[in-house]
Chain A
Amino acid sequence: MNDWRFERPPGLPLPQPAEEARPFFDALLEGRLAIQCCVACGLLLHPPRAVCSACQSTDFDWQETSGKGVVYSYVVTHQAVHPALAGHTPLATVEVELAEGPHITSNLIDVPPESVEIGMAVTVVFEEVSDGVVLPLFRHH
């Protein structure tokens, strides 16, 4: 159990981010989990938006987060409903509530699917899943 390690199904889609989402993925390459932040009103926006939904400003900054959060919800895929999942189930996907507020989707690298629980404390890790593509995954321990 303790040496269980997440193996990402290699065929899962890689992010093809829209223009406004690029800085999120660029920051990951530098080992930072940065969330879009409205300069005018301070609202954190995730996924990134073209315009701040609170004040309509287009002046954005990217705020580095602590990378800490808790599991807000999770699912475990048992049936290979996508070709990439064949031979890679069960697969747990988690929704993490970051300490700063925003929720992001991810996987836990050190918790097997049957042991995931809502409320688990987690911390971001940066995993290069393909050349030049880093994803924010999380560890519990």
Chain B
Amino acid sequence: MSFSNSVAIVGVGETDYSRASGRTELALSLQAIRAALDDAGIEPDDVDGLMKWWVDTSTEAEVAANMGIRDLAWWGEISQAGNVGAPLVAHAAAAIHAGLANVVVIYRGVNGRSGRRYGRGDVTGQGGRGGGAFTEPFGLLTPQHGLAMVARRRMYETGITSRHFGMQAVAQRRHANRNPRATFYERTLTLAEHQSSRLIVDPFHLFDCCLETDGAGALVLASADFARELGKPAALIRAAAQSGPGVGSPAARGAKRLFAMAGVERDDIDVIQIYDHFGPFVLFALEDYGFVEDAGRLVEEGGTDFDGGRRPVNTSGGHLSEAYLQGINHLIEATRQVRGESTAQVPNVTFSFCDTGIGTGSVILERGES
């Protein structure tokens, strides 16, 4: 039996975003969790479940001890890398639906600029071991290298261009310019500036790459019944799906499961968040999830922009312009959109879509009753 609409996101919270937090990753996560609990209107000891990114350095034991949780009933984490936000939501929703936990907090805290920098090959590389034996000796050393290789081929096959990537980067920057939390709140971006920005790994320009951020975010999940007793409109989890290794696009495979569980069509979705470690992948995902056939044409028409677009994409600014928090900021923004609390609020949102890692996981949230 599906958990569709039986579980909700009832609270969201984040820290300030900076390049040097001066706090530990644990302290950041605890601060974000506190904000999310305040947002939900519940106390730390109401929490009986915790979930984290496998790569997160703050263990559930440390977090539980600091929060003063007296009976942690359920916890877990998901492997891979930054791309598991929506999968964590799927797991937590399944656990709540199954009665294993009542209130689950999902957290992600990183010193992504002052600490471990994910874009550095000497940080994330394999030293020529494992699969790295076949790639690193030739200079493919970082996540951006492998993804740039995919992007270059896609440009060749579909005709999508760096200018299209720039148009999406500009749309997201315009969203960030409305969002006081965003790193680039006060800095505008033009297409010309995108095109003349330095190349990092061609075809990726600087402004195709995500920020590096110190900060944290947290979500609180509980049953829809519990949510109705709280003050704010809940973000019901209408559907969630994961998509792992296999043949063909993970997004296309995951989309089948996601939309089948949701029982809605692509056109029913009012607003979209997509994981943008590299901006070009937002456009690829829009195609692979089946939202559009030609994402290049979509951005030429301004279709992803809050101002004039039919269905805005990455309305907080995303990883490119708000913060790089490995998808938790996308989930927070997707929640705010169904609650009517975004700084780029789409009118009358019923269904809010969020991908958290080029197909690895996705959710559809539905506006609940207040």
Q: Which residues of A contact B (CB under 8 A)?
A: 9, 12-18, 21, 25, 46-47, 72-79, 81-85, 90-91, 93, 95, 104-107, 118, 129, 135
Contact = CB atoms under 8 A, between A and B. Distances in A.
Nearest to A13: B128
Contacts of B122: 82-83
A76 B149 contact: no
Given A13-B136, A47-B131, A93-B139, 12 more contacts: A9-B139, A13-B126, A16-B132, A16-B133, A25-B133, A75-B203, A78-B200, A79-B199, A82-B141, A105-B140, A107-B139, A118-B152
Interface string B106-119: 00000000000001
Contacts, number: 112
A104 B125 contact: no
4 closest A-B pairs by CB: A82-B121, A13-B128, A15-B133, A76-B202
Interface in B141-172: 141-142, 144-145, 148-150, 152-153, 156
A105 B135 CA distance: 6
B198 interface: yes
Given A15-B128, A75-B148, A82-B121, A106 B138 contact: yes
B261 interface: no
23 contacts: A13-B127, A13-B137, A16-B127, A16-B128, A17-B133, A46-B134, A47-B131, A75-B201, A79-B200, A79-B201, A81-B200, A82-B122, A82-B125, A82-B142, A85-B121, A85-B139, A85-B141, A90-B202, A95-B153, A105-B134, A105-B135, A118-B153, A129-B137
A75 B134 contact: no
Contacts of B202: 75-78, 90
Nearest to B147: A75
B120 interface: yes
B130 interface: yes
B323 to A, nearest CB: 20
Contacts of A46: 134
B40 to A, nearest CB: 40
Chain B: interface size category: 35 or more
B199 A76 contact: yes
Given A105-B138, A107-B138, A13 B153 contact: no
Interface string B249-288: 0000000000000000000000000000000000000000
B133 A74 contact: no
A78 B137 contact: no
B277 to A, nearest CB: 14
Contact of B137 (A15, A72, A83, A85): A15
B116 to A, nearest CB: 14
A73 B131 CA distance: 18
B177 to A, nearest CB: 26
Contacts of B145: 75, 77, 93
A134 B298 CA distance: 47
A14 B120 CA distance: 18
A81 B119 contact: yes
B67 to A, nearest CB: 37
